Structure 1
Amino acid sequence: MRFSIIVLCALICLFVILTEARQKKVNRAASRSLAVRNGNKKQRSNVRQRNGNKPSAKSKNLKKRRPNAGKKKKKSKNLAKKNRRKSNSAKNRKAKVKSSSTSSSSIATLPLDFQQNFVRTTDNLRSEKAFLARRYGFGFAKTSGTARLKNTANMEYTCKLSIGTPKQRFTILPDTGSSNLWVTGPQCKSKACRKHMRYRPTKSSTYIEDGEEFEIEYESGALAGYLAIDTVSIAGLTVTNQTFAMSSKEPGSTFTTANFDGILGMGYKSISVDGVTPVVQNMCAQDVISPCRFAICMKGGGSSSRGGAIFFGNSSTSAYSGSNSYTYTPVTTKGYWQFTLQAVYVGSTKVSGSVQAIVDSGTSLMTAPTAIYKKINKILGCKETSSGECWMKCSTDVPDVTMVIGGTEFVLKGKKMMLKVKTSKGKTVCISVVTEVPDEPMILGDAFIRHFCTVFDFANNRIGFAATTYKT
C-alpha cells in the first residue's frame, strides 16, 4: 500500500517537470522569432540610411528618356497640393460645424439665405401681421382714431364722415343728444337737401336696402326718410353693416342754413329711433375701438384749425385740456348723457342745489329750468326778450359761474357767459349763453364743453370732465 502511494507521487512529479520544460522551450522559440523580426527591420532601416535619397538606375534612365518629366512632376505636385488644400478646407468646415453642434454651449452655426434687391410691400407686411395675430392670438387693428372738428362762429362744430364703397364723404354734426345717423338722401326735394351732399346708394357696392320709414324730430327741426345699411367710416375707423337714415324731407329753415349734410347721434341706443344701434356702440361691438368710449374737445374762435377734435377709443386730450386728469360722475339715466349736477353758483351766490343735467354737443348754448334761469340772468344783469333771450352790453362786467360736479368745481369765466351776435339791423350785441327750458334737466351744450373736454364712457356708464381748462 505504501509502495503504491510512493509510485503515484513520483509520476505526478515527473509530469510537472516535463510540463515546465516544454513551456520554457516555447518561450525561447518565441524570443528568437521576435529577435529575428527586429533584426530584419534594423537591417532594412540601415539599407535605407545607406541609400539615402539617391534615385535608382531605373529612375536615371527614365529621366534621360523624358527630359520634361520634371516639369510635369512639378505640375502634378502643385495640383496635388491644391486638391489637398480643398480637401482640408472642406474637412475643416465640417469639423467646425460638428464642433459647434457638439460643444458644451450647444451653439450651431447655420447659413441664412439673403435675397438681393428684395422689395418689401404692404402685402408682405399684412401677411406677416396676419401670421403673428394667428400665432399669438392678438390683432394689429387700429382701435382708436381722431376726427378734427370745424368751428363755425362758436355755434356749430362739424367733422367729416364717409359712407359706402367707394367712400362718399359728408360733413356731419356730432350730437350726444341723439342716437341716429342720417344724411341727405337721393330723392329729397326740400330746399335744405338741394344745398347739401347726397348719399347715392347706387354708387356703393356695400349698400343694403332696408326701406323702413324713418322720422326724427329735434327741438329746432324735423325730417323724414328711409333706413339703409352700408359701411360707415370716421376718424380712420370703419363700421360695417351700419343702419342709418336717408332723408327724403327736410322741412323748414333749420337745416337750410346748416353747414352740415347730416347728424351723427352719439347717445345711448334707448333713445334711438326705430331701435337702430348707434355708430359708436357698433364700433364697440365690432371691436373697432377699445375701450368703448369717446371724448370731445371743442375750442373757441371761428377757424377750423381751432375747432377741436373727437377722440374715439381714448381720452388723451392733454393737447386741448392741458391734462389727462378727469373728474368722473356716473350716468343716472342711460338715454341721454345725463348726470347729477350738485350745485350752481353765480359769483358767490348759490342759484341751484342738486339738479339733473345733460351734456349735449348738438346744442350751442346752455339751458336751465325757469327758476334757475331767472336767478342767473338777474345776477348777470341782462334783459330778457320775448324770444327767450337775455341781452346785455358786451362791456358788461359779468361774474364767474361755478358748477359743482363730482365734488369738483368747474368755473366758467364771466366773459365766457356772453355770446356775441348780430341783430337783423347789423348791430352787434351780447346775449347770455343760458336760455330757458321750463323743467329739468339742465343742458350743458357747446358753451360748457368748449371749456372742459368731456369723456363719454360707455364701458363704465360715466361722464368725465377735464380737471384743467384752457384759454380760448
Structure 2
Amino acid sequence: MTKQYDSLKGLQRKRSTKLYNDYGYRYLVDIAVGTPPQVFELAVDTGSSELWIPGSQCPDYLCPLVKFNEANSTTYKPTSENFNIKYGTGNATGKYALDTITIAGATIEEQQFGYVSTTNNILTEVTSLSGDEVATTNETIASDSYYHMNGIFGLGFPFLTASATSYNPFLFNLKALNKISQNIFSIYMNNRKVYGDSGEIILGGIYKTKYTAEIIYVPVSKTTRQTSSIQTKTDYGYWQVNGQGVGVANGVTADVQLDFQETVPFVFDTGTTMSYFPSNVLEPLLIASVGKTNVVSKPIRMHVPIADIIFPKDTRYIATATICMFGIVPTTGIIFIGESLSRSVYQVYDAEQNRIGIAGAVGSVATVITGKGVSDNMAAA
C-alpha cells in the first residue's frame, strides 16, 4: 500500500465548530435548520451520508426532544419522496425536505435532508447507531449531560444516500458551492475523559494544533451495494480502507500478530461507540492485551493504549465504576473502527483524493506507525 505524507497546504476556506464529547459515547455538533434557525444537536456519523432531524409530526415517545416546526420556517420546502434509513440499532422514516442549513458557520440554502416522522431505537435509547448499549444502569436520557443526540449528521459519500435521485449531502454541497476550498473534513475527538465541548470538526481543512508529527494517508476502497435482486453498483461510499491484520504490541514490537488471508475493509465509523473485530481475532487480542500497552493494525499501525478502550458500565466515570466493558466487541460481519479506537487519533477524511489520514491526536498517548517511522504523540499544541 502506498503511503503519502503532506499537510494539505494552501487551503483558504475552512469552517470549524466544537464537538460535544458525551463521555466518550457520542460526539455531537450543533446545526441550525430553517429561517429563522431552529437548533439541533446531531451525532457526527462517518458511517452514513444522510442528515436528518425529528419533525413536528413525530410523537413524543419516539422523538422526546426538540422537534423541527416546519410551519415556523419561511424557507422550508417539502417533497413527496420518502425517507427511510436503517442503522444497526434501528431506523428513521419520514420525507425528504429542503431548507436552509447552517453548520460551523457555513450556510446552504435548499439543502436536502430527512424530515423524520417516526424513529425506532434511535432517539429514545441511549445507544450508538450500531446498537452498542452505552447507557448505564442508573442513568437514562435525563442524565447530567445537557446535550442529547437529536438527529444524525452523516458524512459519508453520496453513494450511500437513500434517495432514489442522487443528491449532494451537506459536505459535498459545501465544495460544489465553493464555500470550502477542498472537499475534506477532519475530526479531533479529544480524550474520552475530557467531557463537554472539547472536540472539534473542521470542514474544508485541518488544524495543525490538533495532531503531532505528520498525517499518514491511505486510500479509501470502494463500496459495493445491491441495487436490485440481480444488480450491484460499486463506488466510493463508506470511509473504509483495506487492512491486513490486527495485533497487540508492547512498544513497537508486536507480541501477537493476527494476519488475514486477504485484505479486508476496515470502516471508520464515528457513529459507532465500540469497534468490531472478528471473534477469532478478538479473543487472542484480549488474552494478549493483559499487561500490554497497545492495540495495533497494519500496514499502518494505530497504537492505542488499552486503558483508552475501557468504558465504565455502571457509572459515567471509570474511577467510580464497579463494572467496565472492553471497547472492542466480536462480529461476524464488517470490521468497524469505532470511537473506542478512532478518538485517540486525529482523522482526516479527504473526498478530493479519496483517502483517509491519521496522526496521533494531541491529548492522547496514541501513536501512528508506518514502516520504520513512528508518529509519537506525547506533546501538546
**Which TM-score band (shorter chain)?**
0.7 to 0.9
Letter aligned with residue 268 of structure 1? F
- For residue 311 of structure 1, the aligned residue among 194, 202, 206 is 202
1:220–1:254 contact (8 Å) kept in structure 2: no
Structure 2 partner of 1:168: 38
Distance 2:125 2:311 in 1: 23
Structure 2 partner of 1:422: 314
Structure 2 partner of 1:410: 302
Matched, 1:143 2:13: yes
Q: After TM superposition, which residue ranges in structure 1, 4 or more long, deviate above 4 angstroms? A: none
1:338–1:358 contact (8 Å) kept in structure 2: yes
How much does 1:197 deviate? 1.3
How much does 1:457 deviate? 0.4
SS at match of 2:272: coil
Matched, 1:465 2:358: yes
Structure 1 partner of 2:215: 326
Distance 2:361 2:14 in 1: 23
Distance 2:175 2:122 in 1: 35
**Structure 2: runs of 5+ lacking an equivalent:** 1-11, 127-140, 142-147, 223-235, 250-254, 366-381
Structure 2 partner of 1:438: 332
Distance 1:285 1:402, change over 3 A: same
SS at match of 1:281: helix
Matched, 1:273 2:162: yes
How much does 1:379 deviate? 2.4
2:89–2:121 contact (8 Å) kept in structure 1: no
Structure 1 partner of 2:57: 187
TM-score, normalised to structure 2, is 0.76
Structure 1 partner of 2:248: 346
Distance 1:253 1:265, change over 3 A: closer
Letter aligned with residue 204 of structure 2? G
- For residue 343 of structure 2, the aligned residue among 450, 455, 460 is 450
Distance 1:399 1:144, change over 3 A: closer
Letter aligned with residue 348 of structure 2? V
Question: What is the 5 A alignment of 1:65-464?
Answer: 143-193=13-63, 195-252=64-121, 255-257=124-126, 259-274=148-163, 275-299=166-190, 300-306=192-198, 308-316=199-207, 318-323=208-213, 325-333=214-222, 334-347=236-249, 348-353=255-260, 354-380=263-289, 397-404=291-298, 407-422=299-314, 428-439=322-333, 441-464=334-357
Distance 1:350 1:277 in 2: 41
SS at match of 1:192: coil
- Give the aligned CA root-mean-square deviation in angstroms: 2.2
Distance 1:248 1:168 in 2: 17
Letter aligned with residue 434 of structure 1? I
Distance 1:414 1:256, change over 3 A: closer
SS at match of 2:80: strand
Task: Identify, as 1 or 2, the structure richer in strand.
Answer: 2
CA shift digits 1:122-164 (9 cap, x unpaired)? xxxxxxxxxxxxxxxxxxxx83111101111210110100111
SS at match of 1:230: strand
Distance 2:123 2:361 in 1: 35
2:309–2:341 contact (8 Å) kept in structure 1: no
Distance 2:258 2:301 in 1: 15
CA shift digits 1:361-414 (9 cap, x unpaired)? 101111012221222223236xxxxxxxxxxxxxxx34421222xx44321112
1:226–1:245 contact (8 Å) kept in structure 2: yes
- Greater Rg by CA: 1
1:231–1:238 contact (8 Å) kept in structure 2: yes
Distance 2:100 2:210 in 1: 31
Distance 1:327 1:436 in 2: 28
Task: Identify, as 1 or 2, the structure richer in helix.
Answer: 1
Corresponding pairs, count: 308
CA shift digits 1:213-269 (9 cap, x unpaired)? 211110012121111101110000011211111111123475344621110110011
Distance 2:209 2:269 in 1: 22
SS at match of 1:448: helix
TM-score, normalised to structure 1, is 0.62
1:208–1:230 contact (8 Å) kept in structure 2: yes
Distance 2:200 2:284 in 1: 34
CA shift digits 1:274-332 (9 cap, x unpaired)? 144211111111111111100011012252142x110001012x332234x21000011
SS at match of 1:362: coil
Distance 2:363 2:65 in 1: 34
